[in-house]
Amino acid sequence: MTPQEAHHVTLCPQWKIVLNAMIESRRNELQSKAIKQNRWNNREADRQAEKAFLEEHKGPVKFSGKYAPQPTQTELV
């Protein structure tokens, strides 16, 4: 294709329609990938937070301070 033919093709209204459709398709694809990446990052952050919690506090039981069954209170303190 000669430069003159290429220039003529780029001036066609169909060329602009095709380019706009391709750009919109790529934007949608990029947006979809960004959403998937954000979800994956959030899940990974949750996994790391849970792991840190379990390692630091030895689980929810020791974090709440209940090592053994507590006797029932007979009167308010």
Per-residue pLDDT of the chain (77 residues; tens, 9 = 90+): 888 888 888 888 899 999 999 999 999 999 999 999 999 999 999 999 988 888 876 666 655 555 666 677 787 76
The pTM (predicted TM-score) of the whole model is 0.57
Q: Which residue has the tokens 């792991």?
A: 51
Q: Report whether 19 contacts 13 (CB < 8 A).
A: no
Q: Report whether 63 contacts 57 (CB < 8 A).
A: yes
CB atoms within 10 A of CB 66: 10
Q: How far is CA 58 from the centre of its chain?
A: 28
**pLDDT at site 77:** 64
Tell me the C-alpha distance between 74 and 69, whole Å: 15
